[in-house]
Amino acid sequence: MTYVEGFVLAVPADKKDDYRKSASDAAPLFREFGATRQVEAWGDDVPDGKVTDFRRAVKAEEGETVVFSWFEYPDRETRDAANQKMMADPRMKEMGANMPFDGRRMIVAGFAPIVQEGDTGQMGYPDGFLVPVPARQQAAYRAMAQKAAPIFQEYGARRVIEAWGDDVPDGKVTDYKMAVMAEDGENVVFSWIEWPDKATRDAGWAKVMADERMKPPAEMPFDGKRMFWGGFAPIVDTAA
């Protein structure tokens, strides 16, 4: 995998089955267009933040749940061609006319991985992250993430991905930059950690937080107050 299309959206909780069916029905088309993997993960442990959080990112309303989703592609060219095909395909237009969520508040963008540790495989629980990082701090952020990834794997994580904003459009209602309150000169990182199950994730995080190797540097390469995260339960994973 060398390119990621990342999505965050709000879905009415009572439309969960409809959303799962819609995503499952669309999966063969995405594969036909070039996607190598599609993951749709339902909000399970998504905390409210003081400054930013997943719910604010998509202006989630009462009774809605946040979905963290991504498509994996071999490269950006394949992703760009896939999006053009999707826009022109009548099958996609028909599905789009019956979406069980408010597409105006969905955020989507393209990201280029800068850290990839572990292999794609059956995954039972992902943690998702959005992080504002100054462009000048990309190398420092990557170095920090590369140091942390093996530690997460040591404590049970199967895969760690950190993806740098590459094609991040401005939106009218929501977008990734709004989500993290990005300042001038900052980019957005779309990141996730894949765990075999929630129990392993919970135990792993406890060990990570207690590990001296994970002690943050004196100067963090991003503003942690505007980073946010959550735990999600997969409802569609074409790699499974």
Instruction: Give the pLDDT confidence of 57-86 residue by residue, as tens digits.
Output: 999 999 999 999 999 999 999 999 999 999
pLDDT beyond 70 at 1: no
pLDDT at 123 over 90: no
Q: Is the pLDDT of residue 129 over 90?
A: yes
pLDDT value at residue 178: 98
pLDDT at 94 over 90: no
Q: Within a 10 A sphere around the Cβ of 168, how many other Cβ atoms? A: 20
Residue range 3-237 forms a domain whose CATH class is alpha beta
More confident residue, 142 or 121: 142
Judge whether residue 32 has pLDDT over 70. Answer: yes
Is the whole-model pTM more than 0.85? Answer: yes
Residues 113 and 192: their CA atoms lie apart, in Å, by: 11
Q: What is the residue-wise DSSP string for 136-199?
A: GGHHHHHHHHHHHHHHHHHTT-SEEEEEEEEE----SS--HHHHTTPPTTEEEEEEEEEESSHH
pLDDT for the residue 5: 98
Q: Which of residues 72 and 122 earns the better pLDDT score?
A: 72
Portion of the chain with pLDDT greater than 70, in percent: 99
pLDDT at 95: 79
Interatomic CA distance for residues 127 and 117, integer angstroms = 15
What pLDDT does residue 206 have?
98
Summarised one tens digit per residue, pLDDT across range 188-217 is 999 999 999 999 999 999 999 999 999 988
